[in-house]
A and B are shown apart, each in its own frame.
Chain A
Amino acid sequence: MSPAAASTLSVLARVEMGRCARHPLFLTGIVVTTLFCFVDPDPQLGVLFHAIVPATAIGVLGIFVLASLTRRSQTIHAAAGAVPVAERTRSLALVAACLVPFAAGLAWWAWAFITYRNHAAPPNGFPFGPVGDGWAAAVLFGEGPLACLGGPLLGILVGRWSGARAAPALTAVGVIATCLVMQGLFEPLRRIRVVMPWTYFGGPAGIPGDPNRILLYSGSPAWWCVYVACLCALAVLAIVLHDRESPRRPVLMLAAGVGAAAAVAVGLAMWTGVDHTLVNPLPSS
């Protein structure tokens, strides 16, 4: 990238970050997430189940926010016709804007981890068994900040590749629907659920006779985080690939490498860590 392009990217990134930070939907997500931080966590499930809040309020709404910013960027470019700043630079500026929701997710993560450390789960609660602080930190990181990053990236991807106005809404519905199915409630899907960009690693899934019994699902949240980070990187590459004027071959080669890394990471997320679904030996109540 030339010095002029790098300088422009820096300015454009700041512009897009400002637009993201001021977007009403993003602000709504921040308010909702902050309000939920003042709600005492469920004594049995702890703060680990709070991750749904930033994932939805910042991550899912982020799909709409960044799709909107992407469309606006395209509209302005169309109004100006041909400009020296390449689409790839404009896309990377939008990607930089995703650091705003990611930063909000990181702030939530810091709060959540501190809260987790200060509110130990009861023996019949979640988590239990052979998991420590690292496991909890990884779960919170994957379900919180990474979701806050991934949703907005998906928004840019949809905005770049689809001109349909309903595309962001359909994407959000699709993400929520598949995550609901793959959250671990269905036993046959528990090992492969980590292919999803958002899932649970345990909870009150229940057993016969005790529908709220706490379970710990198989898999490694740390490797799942690596996998989701790879998905985010693939999203960025797919976004910049949309620019037909810039060289695409290096991007495709990089995408192949990241794709291979993602495949390895998701395999490790399935087959390392907690070996199989564990059932809390104590009844839920």
Chain B
Amino acid sequence: MSTATVVRTSELAKRYGSTTALHPVSLTIGHGLTGLLGPNGAGKTTLIRLLATAMAPSTGTIHMLGHDATGSLAQRTEARRAIGYVPQELTFPGAMTAFSFLDYVAVLKEWTQRTERHAEVRRVLALVELADRAGKRVRTLSGGQRRRLAIAQSLLGDPQLLLLDEPTAGLDPVQRASLRALLSARGAGNAVVLATHQTEDVAALCERVIVLADARVHFDGPVSAFVATAAGSVWLDDRAVPGARAAWRTGSGRMRSVGGRPPAAAQSADPSVEDAYLLMLGTDVLEDARTI
């Protein structure tokens, strides 16, 4: 992972009245792919919206490529020039074509020269494999195609910081693989932050993972270090291990257990990101999240 700092937050927090959406977080994000992992309601979207300058923090600062994104409007505008953002909730003007939608967004990203702008729109449409849908109205696109259109708008202008909130939701396995290829290529020279509750996305793409739960950071480090936290805690046996945080029957017919005290006959298994996630957050946290 490159050490070039793209974003640095200091004691960044968000509150809504008496509800804390994000406890103070101090992070440094550099080039490469960083996963924001956590259950629903963990604070991922809040953090990513704060980084995208789509909302103002209650306290704390964000410095982005030399600009104080929590400072003056001029500073925020400079920071926004470097950001590509895919919100979690996708809203589109259904009557517009994919091309005209992207063309409008490109104007909002200060692409004022028509010829260059149209070339850029065609470039990002090709990147997300929607070139053949350019003239289609957005309302006629499938859910996966709309998701890719949202990703296309975030890629306009080749931003140095790409913030994606649940980008793989609604994509089929082929589209997901295609997106992973695209994002991994982007991560080579830029910073990509991926908020997700899909552990397989983090395992497949990210060099670093930040685990959020209850609006707090529970882990921040390399994915390999995160997986290592579950080493010696994952078991395969004919029955669930007593005291396991989670257990399920695999396709081979054996029970995979995460955590707990294994019987002598249990076979140790290589942990995955999902195992580490289940082990770290525990049943209580996960059940709390499910009730939100």
Q: Do chains A and B stick together as partners?
A: yes
Task: Report A91-127 CB contacts with B as 1/0, cut-off 8 Å.
Answer: 0000000000000000000000000000000000000
Total interface residues on B, using CB and 8 Å? 31
Q: Is A164 an interface residue (CB 8 A)?
A: no
Closest residue of B by beta carbon distance from A7: B112
Residues of B within 8 A of A84 (CB): 77-78, 80-81, 108-110
Segment from B88-96, B169-177, B234-242 that makes contact with A: B88-96
Report Cα–Cα, A83/B107, bound state, in Å: 10
Residues of B within 8 A of A8 (CB): 107-108, 110, 112
| A76, B85: Cβ atoms closer than 8 Å | no
Task: Report A38-78 CB contacts with B as 1/0, cut-off 8 Å.
Answer: 00000000000000000000000000000000001001111
Residues of A within 8 A of B87 (CB): 78-79, 81
Q: Is B105 an interface residue (CB 8 A)?
A: yes
Residues of A within 8 A of B73 (CB): 86, 245-247
| B93, A83: Cβ atoms closer than 8 Å | no
| A4, B92: Cβ atoms closer than 8 Å | no
Residues of A within 8 A of B78 (CB): 84
Q: Which of A75, A79, A84, A247 has the most CB of B within 10 A?
A: A79
Interface residues of A in 184-213 (CB under 8 A from B): none
Residues of A within 8 A of B163 (CB): 81
Residues of B within 8 A of A261 (CB): none
Closest residue of B by beta carbon distance from A247: B73
Q: Is B137 an interface residue (CB 8 A)?
A: no
Residues of A within 8 A of B96 (CB): 72, 76
Report Cα–Cα, A245/B112, bound state, in Å: 23
The B interface is mostly helix, strand or loop, or mixed, namely mixed
| A79, B107: Cβ atoms closer than 8 Å | no
Closest residue of A by beta carbon distance from B55: A82
Report Cα–Cα, A11/B104, bound state, in Å: 10
Q: Is B223 an interface residue (CB 8 A)?
A: no
| B53, A4: Cβ atoms closer than 8 Å | no
Contacts known (A7-B112, A84-B81, A84-B110); A79 close to B53, Cβ less than 8 A: no
Q: Is B54 an interface residue (CB 8 A)?
A: yes
Residues of B within 8 A of A15 (CB): 104, 107
Closest residue of A by beta carbon distance from B150: A79
Interface residues of B in 70-118 (CB under 8 A from A): 73, 76-78, 80-81, 83, 85-87, 90-93, 96, 101, 104-105, 107-110, 112
Q: Is A90 an interface residue (CB 8 A)?
A: yes
| A82, B92: Cβ atoms closer than 8 Å | no
What distance in Å separates the Cβ of B146 from its nearest Cβ neighbour in chain A? 10
| B53, A12: Cβ atoms closer than 8 Å | no
Closest residue of B by beta carbon distance from A6: B112
Contacts known (A8-B112, A72-B93, A245-B73); A82 close to B52, Cβ less than 8 A: yes
The A interface is mostly helix, strand or loop, or mixed, namely helix
| B85, A78: Cβ atoms closer than 8 Å | no
Partner of A83, one of B80, B91, B101, B150: B80
Q: Is B153 an interface residue (CB 8 A)?
A: yes
Report Cα–Cα, A10/B49, bound state, in Å: 29
Residues of B within 8 A of A86 (CB): 73, 77
Partner of A82, one of B53, B110, B150: B53
| A12, B80: Cβ atoms closer than 8 Å | no
Closest residue of B by beta carbon distance from A244: B56
Q: Is A80 an interface residue (CB 8 A)?
A: yes
| A76, B105: Cβ atoms closer than 8 Å | yes
| B80, A75: Cβ atoms closer than 8 Å | no
Partner of A76, one of B81, B83, B86, B101: B101
What distance in Å separates the Cβ of B189 from its nearest Cβ neighbour in chain A? 21
Q: Is A256 an interface residue (CB 8 A)?
A: no
What distance in Å separates the Cβ of B184 from its nearest Cβ neighbour in chain A? 22
A-B contact pairs, 15 of them (CB 8 A): A4-B110, A7-B112, A11-B112, A72-B96, A76-B101, A76-B104, A79-B153, A80-B153, A81-B54, A82-B54, A84-B109, A85-B108, A85-B110, A245-B73, A245-B76
Q: Which residues of B contact A (CB under 8 A)?
A: 49, 52-54, 73, 76-78, 80-81, 83, 85-87, 90-93, 96, 101, 104-105, 107-110, 112, 150, 153-154, 163
Q: Which residues of A contact B (CB under 8 A)?
A: 4, 7-8, 10-12, 15, 72, 75-86, 90, 245-247
Give me 14 other A-B pairs in contact (C-beta within 8 A), A72-B96, A81-B52 excluded: A10-B112, A15-B104, A79-B90, A81-B85, A81-B86, A81-B87, A81-B154, A82-B53, A82-B80, A84-B80, A85-B107, A86-B73, A245-B73, A246-B73
